[in-house]
A and B are shown apart, each in its own frame.
Chain A
Amino acid sequence: MIKFFLMVNKQGQTRLSKYYEHVEINKRTLLETEVIKSCLSRSSEQCSFIEYKDFKLIYRQYAALFIVVGVNDTENEMAIYEFIHNFVEVLDDYFSRVHNVFNVMLITL
């Protein structure tokens, strides 16, 4: 089950956050900073799945933007990884203005 979905930039500013379970508002910012810290410290050779407390984090980097999904144990990590990319493609198709920005990102994949 997906617990949360975040889009955070490299400086740690949250661009989008959606929580599927109630988390206190002050805990949210804390969670987001910790999550982005663990994602930023990874190099490109390392795998995209991190174990964090009792979640698994699956993240993907698109240029300066990190998309992080937190799931519980029962999810298939690779399917979620695909799902993130699917989401980005949907955004790309739907908001044509961001096409150029995402185009660059898609090419780099």
Chain B
Amino acid sequence: MPAPIRLRELIRTIRTARTQAEEREMIQKECAAIRSSFREEDNTYRCRNVAKLLYMHMLGYPAHFGQLECLKLIASQKFTDKRIGYLGAMLLLDERQDVHLLMTNCIKNDLNHSTQYVQGLALCTLGCMGSSEMCRDLAGEVEKLLKTSNSYLRKKAALCAVHVIRKVPELMEMFLPATKNLLNEKNHGVLHTSVVLLTEMCERSPDMLAHFRKLVPQLVRILKNLIMSGYSPEHDVSGISDPFLQVRILRLLRILGRNDDDSSEAMNDILAQVATNTETSKNVGNAILYETVLTIMDIKSESGLRVLAINILGRFLLNNDKNIRYVALTSLLKTVQTDHNAVQRHRSTIVDCLKDLDVSIKRRAMELSFALVNGNNIRGMMKELLYFLDSCEPEFKADCASGIFLAAEKYAPSKRWHIDTIMRVLTTAGSYVRDDAVPNLIQLITNSVEMHAYTVQRLYKAILGDYSQQPLVQVAAWCIGEYGDLLVSGQCEEEEPIQVTEDEVLDILESVLISNMSTSVTRGYALTAIMKLSTRFTCTVNRIKKVVSIYGSSIDVELQQRAVEYNALFKKYDHMRSALLERMPVMEKVTTNGPTEIVQTNGETEPAPLETKPPPSGPQPTSQANDLLDLLGGNDITPVIPTAPTSKPASAGGELLDLLGDINLTGAPAAAPAPASVPQISQPPFLLDGLSSQPLFNDIATGIPSITAYSKNGLKIEFTFERSNTNPSVTVITIQASNSTELDMTDFVFQAAVPKTFQLQLLSPSSSIVPAFNTGTITQVIKVLNPQKQQLRMRIKLTYNHKGSAMQDLAEVNNFPPQSWQ
């Protein structure tokens, strides 16, 4: 068997391979040769073979069959063998392999070897891949070596101790006595590793931290010597003496001085000295300054020092070197919360960094700019930020857009400016705007009443050219639907009014509907907008009717449902149409976690609606009722959670509208607010909280007595009450209907109405048949909102079929217990 080739040959051969396949072939051939050589137990060439194996492992090829060979090499007496063996162990073995435990004995022997280099090897390997068992066994040896006088061994032992502590934190106390003298060394290698060891101990245990605080003066002294000492060729890097040690000491000082006044005071002088004396022409100096700034910011330093630190960062920002600018921006971001005013001074430089070529710098500058925006500089900053939005990479656009919206909301100087800014964002980065921004914007627009005409005009112009950006189109469609009359009448004061005819408006909305670029949600918006315009426009109602009826057979179920409902509005309920499609009221801002907030409608538009919902007579969903009766105006909550599964709403609730005719305590037409312009916002949060987040039935029943609301002709209806803990104005009433006659009551429908100041929601009943002889009950849940805590009164209407004839009854319930509404 010829002698195996040397490592150098192998590397040269592999480099000549021109393709990946060639390389793989060469490596496989060599692997086979190595494997057969291992099998022959060849001692002389083992180390050469393992070296080659390690190289192949580094290139990414599997080399696990060499693990045992490494162990054999470690056990050998030759230093060259041991060296390769330990290197192989470090690279190929780790805790997961079972073989590694076999090394423990070898390492133990080698730790006590006569030659320091062998001891060093053993320490290195233990510190690199020692498992917790190995560390536990050998920690004693390591600790002994930490106390030896040989500095070569001491530094390696210190690093090994760091690893031991990481693996087995309980052994930390064992190393404590040895650390006493560590900082007295002259040798920088030992000093450096000792500082690392101390840092690790302090980070892991607060007791150690307190213990080592007394070392602060010593550390300060060492640092001072480093700075003051003259040129020392051993440790010089570009004119600065051992910068790596300086940085380490500064970091340890940072950890020690955090939250501790005394230590911080002891450090103040040296930090100021380092900050002023370090040369900044080279990167080395800047690295030290950076670490100093970080330390100053973290400890309890005096204000003069902090100002010094921020000025250093400001100087960094002006530096030509992009690395330094990046580092400065990162640190400023960390400090802007605490030292806001100081950072403001550098605002213009930061804003300039927005135009930098480098992606990392731009991102930092953008984050920092948002943090610096306040009421005074909003206009200037916004100009810069909008310009940035225009030109930045797509990955930034979403964050930038959200940031701009937030800043605009907080500091907008005027409504018009706010709307202009939003428009600008929508047109430049429209497709990157987050989905939840659309409802927010709509709410904002409704709130600025005087700007409606201006807004709708601008939005119209924006989508005339291009309707591919979905959020923009959605907002525009909604506004055109709401304020279309203002658009065609040309009433804008702020801007030159444009002449738009109704047909043109419908054209654009229809093209949005047809376009392939529109998502399903956008189409929904457009269809509803068209529908709303049927009351606002006068001459194009027929066209609208036609459009709506076409979509009645659309493939998209959402569109189809809407179209059919709107169709029904045209056909059967034309008299209702204008009331239903009225202007939306001004919405209160509701946060997304709003089960405890009550949305108040603006009182002047209509009286509090008489909310009644027909319980389905048969498998009829109440969802269309949800859509048509937008209970309390919109808010930005997740989509409708229907109280019953949706199904073909073909026969739109005929019963619904009878009710609105009959039961009418207020004497005014029950003008429900405009129907779901956006189905997403038709479910008010407070009424939903029972369904979604906090089922009210989990709230402890407060022991409110139940009442019998109605008892006649064998039909008894009982009310039981619960109050919500999360929302004290909501009362949940569970009704139970039971039948004591000998025949079932079928098609049972329960309806309720409450006075003007209340709001009511009826959920679907358990069934529509009340079985005879009290064998079962129908349960239904009513939720009543009583914000003014007035006495609860209710009028109920019951219809059912009994003994072959239809029965109907009206009754008033006045005997509500006080605890149910107080």
Q: Is the Cβ of B360 less than 8 Å from the Cβ of A79?
A: no
Contact yes or no, B58 A14, CB < 8 A: yes
CB distance from B245 to the nearest CB of A (A): 11
Q: Is A61 on the interface with B (CB-CB < 8 A)?
A: no
Distance, CA A29 to CA B24, complexed state (A): 14
Q: Is the CB of B323 within 8 A of A49?
A: yes
For the complex, is B243 an interface residue (Cβ under 8 Å from A)? yes
A43 and B356 CA atoms in complex are apart in Å by 13
> Is A91 part of the binding interface, using a Cβ–Cβ cutoff of 8 Å?
no
- Decide if B357 touches A78 in the complex (CB within 8 Å): no
A86 interface residue per 8 A CB criterion = yes
Determine how close the nearest CB of chain B comes to the CB of A63; give it in whole angstroms.
16
Pick from B96, B244, B327, B359: contact of A46, CB below 8 A. B359
- Chain A 6-37 interface residues, beta-carbon cutoff 8 Å to B: 14, 16-17, 22, 25-26, 28-29
Partner of A45, one of B94, B243, B358: B358
Picked from B60, B247, B287, B325, the residue with its CB within 8 Å of the CB of A29 is: B60
* Proximity string of chain A (47-79) to chain B, C-beta cutoff 8 Å, 1 when within and 0 when not: 111110000000000000000000000001111
A51 — nearest CB in chain B belongs to which residue?
Answer: B360
B291, A79: Cβ atoms under 8 Å?
Answer: yes
Q: CA–CA, A50 to B361, complex, Å?
A: 10
What's the tally of chain B residues with a CB closer than 8 Å to chain A? 31
- Bound-state Cα–Cα, A77 to B247, Å: 11
B284 interfacial by beta-carbon distance below 8 Å: yes
Residues on B with C-beta less than 8 A from A45 are 322, 357-358
B357 contacts which chain A residues (CB < 8 A)? 43, 45-46
A49/B291 in contact, CB under 8 A: no
Residue from A14, A43, A49, A81 within 8 A of B287 (CB atoms)? A81
Cβ contacts under 8 Å, A22 to chain B: 94-96
Q: How far is the CA of A79 from the CA of B62 in the complex (A)?
A: 35
Residue pair A28, B323 in contact (C-beta under 8 Å): no
Chain A residues, CB < 8 A from B324: 78
List the A residue with the shortest CB-CB distance to B247: A79
Which residues of B are found within 8 Å of A76, using beta-carbon distances? 247, 251, 287, 290-291, 294
Among residues of B, the one whose C-beta sits closest to the C-beta of A28 is B60
**Chain B residues whose C-beta falls within 8 Å of the C-beta of A82 in the assembled complex:** 237, 243-244, 283-284, 287
Contact of A78 among B58, B96, B287, B358 (CB under 8 A): B287
Q: A20 — nearest CB in chain B belongs to which residue?
A: B128
**A47/B322 in contact, CB under 8 A:** yes
Query: Which residues of chain B are near A77, meaning CB under 8 Å?
Result: 323, 327
Task: Report the separation of the CA atoms of residues A16 and B59 in the bound assembly, to the nearest whole angstrom.
Answer: 8
Complex contact A81–B58 (CB within 8 A) = no
The answer for the CA separation of A102 and B287 in the assembled complex, in Å, is 24
Residues of A close to B325: CB separation below 8 A: 47
Q: Which residues of the other chain, A, contact B58 by a CB distance below 8 angstroms?
A: 14, 16-17
Answer whether residue B706 sits at the interface, using C-beta atoms and an 8 A cutoff: no
Q: Is the pair B323, A47 in contact by a Cβ cutoff of 8 Å?
A: yes
What residues of A have a CB within 8 angstroms of the CB of B323 in the complex? 47-49, 77-78, 81
Contacts of B96 in A (CB 8 A): 22
CB contact list, B303-345 vs A, under 8 A: 322-327
Q: How far is the CB of B515 from chain A (nearest CB, A)?
A: 36
Chain A's nearest CB lies how many Å from the CB of B11? Answer: 10
CB distance from A23 to the nearest CB of B (A): 10
State whether B243 touches A79 (Cβ < 8 A): yes
- Please state if B94 and A78 are interface contacts (CB–CB under 8 Å): no
Query: Whole-angstrom distance from the CB of A93 to the nearest CB of chain B?
Result: 13
**B220-264 interface code vs A (CB 8 A; 1 in, 0 out):** 000000000000000001000001100100010000000000000
**With known contacts A43-B357, A49-B323, A81–B290 Cβ distance under 8 A:** no
In chain B, positions 282-296 with a C-beta closer than 8 Å to chain A are 283-284, 286-287, 290-291, 294
Cα of A86 to Cα of B96 in the assembled complex, Å: 34
Do B62 and A46 have beta carbons less than 8 Å apart?
Answer: no
Q: Interface readout for B63-95 with A: 1 if CB under 8 Å, 0 if not?
A: 000000000000000000000000000000011
Which A residues are in CB contact (< 8 Å) with B57? Answer: 25
Q: Using CB atoms, name the residue of chain A closest to B240.
A: A82
Complex formed: what's the CA distance from A28 to B323 in Å? 27
Q: How far is the CA of A17 from the CA of B56 in the complex (A)?
A: 12
The listed residue (B95, B244, B291, B360) touching A83 by CB distance below 8 A is B244
Across the interface, which residues of A come within 8 angstroms of B247, CB to CB?
76, 79
CB pair A25–B60 under 8 Å, yes or no, is yes
Complex: chain A residue closest to B238, CB-CB: A82
Cα distance A34–B247 in the bound complex, in angstroms = 30
On chain A, the residues within 8 Å of B237 by CB distance are 82, 86
Q: Among B290, B294, B360, which residue has its beta carbon within 8 angstroms of that of A50? A: B360
B811 to chain A, nearest CB (A): 67
Cα A86 to Cα B95 with chains together (Å): 32
Task: Give chain B nearest CB distance to A98 CB in angstroms.
Answer: 14
B392 to chain A, nearest CB (A): 15
User: How many Å lie between the Cα of A22 and that of B93 in the bound state?
Assistant: 10
In the complex, how many angstroms separate the beta carbon of A3 from the nearest chain B beta carbon?
14
Contact B59 A14 (CB under 8 A): yes
Smallest CB–CB gap between A95 and chain B, Å?
13
| Complex alpha-carbon distance, A14 and B23, angstroms | 13
List, in ascending order, chain B residues with CB within 8 A of A26's CB.
60
* Contacting residues, chain A, for B95 (C-beta < 8 A): 22
Chain A residues in 8 Å Cβ range of B291: 76, 79
Q: Give Cα A76 to B243, complex, Å.
A: 12
Q: A79 vs B292: C-alpha distance in the bound complex, in angstroms?
A: 12
Shortest C-beta distance, B253 to chain A (Å), equals 14
Contact of A14 with B60 at beta-carbon distance under 8 Å, contacts A47-B358, A81-B283 already known: yes
Whole-angstrom distance between the Cβ of A75 and the nearest chain B Cβ: 9
- Residue in A45, A50, A78 with the greatest tally of chain B CB atoms within 10 Å: A78
User: How far apart are the CA atoms of A79 and B322 in the complex, in Å?
Assistant: 15
Q: Which residues of B contact A25 (CB under 8 A)?
A: 57, 60, 62
Residue from A22, A28, A47 having most chain B Cβ neighbours under 10 A? A47
User: What CA separation (Å) do A78 and B290 show in the bound complex?
Assistant: 8
Q: Which residues of A contact B361 (CB under 8 A)?
A: 47
**Interface of chain B residues 406 through 462 with chain A (CB within 8 A):** none
Kindly list chain A residues whose C-beta atoms are within 8 Å of the C-beta of B62.
25
**How far apart sit A50 and B359, CA to CA, in the bound complex (Å)?**
9
B336: min CB distance to chain A, Å: 18
Which chain A residues border B327 with CB–CB below 8 Å? 49, 77-78
List the B side residues contacting A83 at CB < 8 Å.
Answer: 244
- Which chain B residues lie closer than 8 Å to A78 at the CB level? 283, 286-287, 290, 323-324, 327
Instruction: Determine how close the nearest CB of chain B comes to the CB of A71; give it in whole angstroms.
Output: 13
Minimal beta-carbon separation of B268 from chain A (angstroms): 21
Chain A, Cβ-Cβ closest to B128: A20
Query: In the bound complex, what is the Cα–Cα distance between A77 and B326 (angstroms)?
Result: 10
**A31 and B163 alpha carbons, distance in the complex (Å):** 25
| B134 shortest CB reach to chain A, Å | 15
Contacts of A17 in B (CB 8 A): 58
Q: Which of B323, B324, B325, B361 has the most CB of A within 10 A?
A: B323
Hey, which chain A residues are within 8 Å of B326, CB to CB?
A: 47, 49
**A51 — which chain B residues lie within 8 A by C-beta?**
360
Q: Indicate whether A46 sits within 8 Å of B358 (C-beta atoms), given known contacts A22-B94, A82-B237, A86-B237.
A: yes
Known: A49-B327, A76-B251. 19 other contacts (CB 8 A): A16-B58, A22-B95, A47-B323, A48-B323, A49-B360, A50-B360, A76-B247, A76-B287, A76-B291, A77-B323, A78-B323, A78-B324, A78-B327, A79-B247, A79-B291, A81-B287, A82-B244, A82-B283, A86-B237
26 pairs from A and B in contact (CB 8 Å cutoff): A14-B59, A14-B60, A16-B58, A17-B58, A22-B95, A25-B57, A45-B357, A47-B323, A47-B360, A47-B361, A49-B323, A49-B327, A76-B287, A76-B294, A78-B283, A78-B323, A78-B324, A78-B327, A79-B243, A79-B244, A79-B287, A82-B237, A82-B283, A82-B284, A82-B287, A83-B244
Point out residues on B near A: beta carbons under 8 Å: 57-60, 62, 94-96, 237, 243-244, 247, 251, 283-284, 286-287, 290-291, 294, 322-327, 357-361
Closest 4 CB pairs of A and B: A78-B287, A47-B322, A46-B358, A29-B60
